[in-house]
Amino acid sequence: MEKRGIVVVLIGLAAVSRVLSAVDETPMLKRLLPAEVAGWRADPAADKAFTRDTIFTYMDGAGELYLAYAFRGLEVREYADGRGGTIAVELYDMGKPSDAYGIFTQDLDGDPAAVGREGLYGAGLLRFWKGRFFVRILADRETEETKRVVLGLGVLAAARLSDEGERPRLVAALPAAGLEAGSVRYFHRQVSLNSHYYLADDNVLGLGETTDAVLGTYRLPRGKAMLLLCKYGRAADARQAYLRLCEGFFSEPCRRKDEQHVEQLESGETAGVKRHGFFLVLVLEAPDVAACEGLLLAAQKTIQEVFR
Amino acid sequence: MKTNAQTKIRPAVTRRSFMRGAAYGTLGAVIGFDRLDSLAAAGRVAPFAAPDPASRLILVRDEAAVDEGHLVNAQVVAAMVDRAVQELAGETDARRAWARFFKPEDTVAVKFTHCGWMRVHTEQAVVDAVIARLKGLGIPAGRIHAADGGQPLKECTALVNIPSVKVHTLTGFACSVKNYINFTGRESSYHGDGNAKLADSFLLPDIKGKTRLIVVDFLRPYFGPGPQINPLHRWDYKGVLAGTDPVAVDTTALRICQVKRDAFKGEPWPVTPPPRFLAAAEQDYKLGTADPQKIQLVKLGWDKDILI
């Protein structure tokens, strides 16, 4: 009886949700922002919208980076001050909060801004993510006034986005000790990895839609190192990635039994890899073997803690 | 039946291939995987200072070319373009210098970069300076086709390549070689893995052998990770770079951007993904040289923070 009641409630909620989404088809920007802010005016009728299929008409030459996430759509609006100045607002529906966070981490240069879940501002550009949305607001020229308006638009939009959204769980699996602020990148595909860190021409890690990956830089007592964690849909996929790395990147025979390998490279740096269940842990550019092994071990521990 | 050579698996190209100098010629050195100094020590001449060069380039910089508000001074830029072309041609008179490259009976395609969404396009001042000189040679306006693409290339007897400069998320770098991508009609196919074939465009029947001059708008280049502009990653270099070898031009521009990236971060920040098309343009397409030891860069004008 109780079960039946829950089912009825769920069906009811789904129906309400369908009705609500059917009723409010107003584009997000129109819901989030007014047509005029501090003397800067936009023509909402001139707002543009793009989908996965049409994103290249807006950004020919860069759409691939958005399509590497669960990107669903983009809305664009331009405000003008009537004196030649413009401010462009871009609202990206990234499909889910983790991917809004992911595209936000594509470029983390800027000063922290208290807008959305995490925001950055610099030289006229505000970026923030909240819920499943990633927002960019760019003034064509930075002045005290445009900075105020850009931040004001951001605060307005963020306040009306009700869902907060959480960072991807995998990010918490990066060991905290030594992790450089502003170095964390979250992604799924090879095209994203290559835009952060070139590992190989081929997709040796087997990255794709169903993989989660997070990259971070660590400050160590004797230098720096990069740590890449990949989570696969199946343990067998993680194992395949381990074997591909052994074959394509490492030159010494890899240990197959415990699926961990550490090697000093010709550059003097040390790299290491460990397969751990569904996960692959890869350390790059470590200053020595001990630092590399230390990071591999620390990552395994945090993975166990976060995903137990 | 396949021979052993045919069935042999292509060795993976990885970051380590660059470290060993086993991939993409000198590209690894240009983007900092190896030190250019070591190239010089192992070779005969210093990078970008070849006494008997395969390619000679002219870099002109003027502090007054861009003001503090990032506004371009068209008059100063026109003089810089003239000075660069004069030096390249070995002439003291601008008209005579341009006449070395173009004749009154030519039909000329002026290919600039128009990247509205990215905002790193060829400055109008550079486009205007080039068109003014072509007209000054007696080429009627009707036979000068200045655009970002769509010119009647079959009719054109000559091309002027006037790109902007930017580090690019998908191809690594965008300057004179990538500037012709619009002529292919298959732009997206040259992003990501396809970037090695970017120089295809130079071999199209209506283009091959017609590029007489390259004038790079190096006024406000972009060195950031993208995919879209972050104004923090754009700087006023205030330069114009002229040459006839697209590979040498791009290699030199890439080196300047690489040095700027490293300076911005205060540590190595290699351009990624590696612009493989440059190595291919040299080795496979034979379009020019990417070897800094075979390039002579003549530097004129303002030399503060010249970075090369």
Is residue B40 domain-resident? no
Task: Quote the pLDDT of residue A161.
Answer: 96
Is residue B34 domain-resident? no
Domains in chain B, number:
1
| A142 and B CB contact within 8 Å | yes
- Residue B288: domain span: 53-301
- Mean pLDDT in residue range A5-14: 49
CB-CB contact of B100 with B94 (8 Å)? no
User: Chain B residues with CB inside 8 Å of A202's CB?
Assistant: 12-13
Query: Å from B135 to nearest chain A CA?
Result: 31
- Mean pLDDT in residue range B57-77: 97
| B74 and A CB contact within 8 Å | no
| Alpha-carbon distances, residue A61 vs A21, A155, A195, A215, B141 (angstroms) | 33, 30, 13, 24, 31
User: Chain B residues with CB inside 8 Å of A265's CB?
Assistant: 16, 19
Residues A57-94: tens digit of each pLDDT: 898 778 999 999 999 999 999 999 999 999 999 999 99
Report percent pLDDT > 90 for chain A.
84
Contact A109 B232 (CB under 8 A): yes
- Distance of alpha carbon A138 from alpha carbon A282, whole angstroms: 36
How does residue B7 score in pLDDT terms, banded at 50, 70 and 90?
very low
Structure token pair of residue B195: 């970037």
Report percent pLDDT > 70 for chain A.
92
- Distance of alpha carbon A299 from alpha carbon A171, whole angstroms: 11
Report percent pLDDT > 70 for chain B.
92
Is residue B276 domain-resident? yes
Task: Quote the pLDDT of residue A146.
Answer: 98
| A123 and B CB contact within 8 Å | yes
| B168 and A CB contact within 8 Å | yes
Choose the weakest-confidence range: A9-23, B122-136, B163-177, B264-278: A9-23
User: Chain A residues with CB inside 8 Å of B69's CB?
Assistant: 141
Contact A110 B230 (CB under 8 A): yes
Higher pLDDT pick, B55 / A308: B55
Is A35's pLDDT higher than 90?
yes
Burial B235-263 (b: 16+ CB within 10 A, else e): bbbbbbbbbbbbbbbbbbbbbbbbbbbbe
Is residue B191 domain-resident? yes
Q: Give the highest mean pLDDT range of A282-286, B14-18, B273-277.
A: A282-286
| A92 and B CB contact within 8 Å | no
Residue of B nearest to A199 (CA): B15
| Alpha-carbon distances, residue A136 vs A60, A78, A158, B79 (angstroms) | 17, 12, 12, 37
Task: Quote the pLDDT of residue A257.
Answer: 79
Is residue B68 domain-resident? yes
Residues B10-51: tens digit of each pLDDT: 456 888 887 777 778 888 888 887 666 666 666 667 899 999
Query: Å from B224 to nearest chain A CA?
Result: 8
Task: Quote the pLDDT of residue B25.
Answer: 82
Task: Quote the pLDDT of residue B83.
Answer: 98
The Cβ of residue B156 has, within 10 Å, a number of other Cβ atoms equal to 20
- Mean pLDDT in residue range B247-255: 98
Contact B118 A61 (CB under 8 A): yes
- Distance of alpha carbon B110 from alpha carbon A259, whole angstroms: 57
Residue of B nearest to A268 (CA): B19
Whether ipTM > 0.95 holds is: no
Residue of A nearest to B234 (CA): A123
Task: Quote the pLDDT of residue B23.
Answer: 76
Contact B117 A58 (CB under 8 A): yes
User: Chain A residues with CB inside 8 Å of B273's CB?
Assistant: 194-195, 198
How does residue B3 score in pLDDT terms, banded at 50, 70 and 90?
very low
| 100-129 of B, contacting A, C-beta below 8 A | 115, 117-119
Residues B170-218: tens digit of each pLDDT: 899 999 999 999 998 887 788 767 788 999 999 999 999 999 999 999 9
| Residue pairs spanning A and B at CB distance below 8 A | 116
Task: Quote the pLDDT of residue A19.
Answer: 46
Is residue B277 domain-resident? yes
Task: Quote the pLDDT of residue B204.
Answer: 96
Is residue B82 domain-resident? yes
Higher pLDDT pick, A35 / A25: A35
| Alpha-carbon distances, residue A37 vs A26, A127, B123, B203 (angstroms) | 20, 18, 31, 51
User: Chain B residues with CB inside 8 Å of A287's CB?
Assistant: none
Instruction: Count, in order, helices (H) and strands (E) of chain B.
Output: 9, 9
Instruction: Name the residue among B168, B225, B231 with its Cβ closest to that of A125.
Output: B231
Residues B133-171: tens digit of each pLDDT: 999 999 999 999 999 999 999 999 999 999 999 999 889
Is residue B210 domain-resident? yes
Task: Quote the pLDDT of residue B116.
Answer: 74
- Mean pLDDT in residue range A142-169: 97
| Domain CATH code at residue B269 | 3.40.50
